[in-house]
Amino acid sequence: MPLPRPSIVIKAFLLPELCTEAMEKEFKRSYMIIAQSIVAPLPEDLLNGGNVIRLCVRMYRPYWDASDPTAQELWAGSVRDWLVNLVRNLNNTLKTYNRVLHPAGAGNIDFAFAELEFGNDVVVRFALEDNQLPCNAAAMVEDLRALMADGAFGEGEVEEVAIPSAESLAARQTALDEAKAAAEAAAAEEGAEDGEGKEVVSDIPLDLGIWGVSFADGTTTEYRYR
């Protein structure tokens, strides 16, 4: 008898100016290939962070605890491959949505983060680069299961894991801003306007090896992954 697979609900949290009737209609139509979706404005305290797409994983049987043989059997026999396909399908849909014209008049959407909410077990928050999840996102989630089962993060209850950590993202943004300022200054010295003729460094990659771990008691820590 085939093992069951999870179901999901997609929640898109967008900047308020994007939350139009046309956008909601087009988003739901485009993402129906993956799951039913809900579109809502970003909460006020998250407006500076950018658009977020959250995939809420639902399953009536335990599957997350890698130390539980029954849960591990379900993960290895069903959920693992399902997650690989989910990441691939999500990346394809994110890319396709911004490449086609939308009959309802909706514009493109660039997401800053994609969140995988595994029930009450943990939320994994990926920063997106070029509107895409990392190609090894599913593998990192599987490693996270094993790390949590092994107690790699201590005795606290892990609530969310951000990949990369907020501190790492802030350091990257600072480096990008400094590179842009340096390029503009160099261009100004040469008499170019608005940095024309000078290529601004913009390819500083995300450091996926620094994870930000948040616990249920409100504390946080960083973890060096591999």
For the chain, give the percent of residues with pLDDT over 90: 75
8 A C-beta contact, residue 194 and residue 206 = no
Q: For residues 131 and 91, give the distance between their C-alpha atoms in angstroms, rounded to a whole number.
A: 8
Q: Which of 217, 206, 208 is nearest to 153 (CA)?
A: 217
Q: For residues 81 and 176, give the distance between their C-alpha atoms in angstroms, rounded to a whole number.
A: 36
Q: What is the pLDDT of residues 120-165, one digit of tens each?
A: 999 999 999 999 999 999 999 999 999 999 999 998 999 999 999 9
pLDDT for 195 beyond 50: no
209 Ramachandran zone, left/alpha/beta (phi>0; psi -120 to 50): alpha
pTM of the model as a whole: 0.90
130 Ramachandran zone, left/alpha/beta (phi>0; psi -120 to 50): left
Alpha-carbon dihedral 57, 62, 65, 69, rounded to 10 degrees: -140
DSSP state, residue 18 = G
Mean pLDDT score across all residues of the chain: 91
Q: For residues 58 and 134, give the distance between their C-alpha atoms in angstroms, rounded to a whole number.
A: 22
Strand partners, 115: 54, 125
Strand partners, 220: 214
pLDDT of residue 194: 53
Residues 6+ positions from 96 with CB-CB distance below 8 Å? 30
Q: What is the pLDDT of residues 2-34, one digit of tens each?
A: 789 999 999 999 999 999 999 999 999 999 999
Average pLDDT score over residue span 166-174? 93
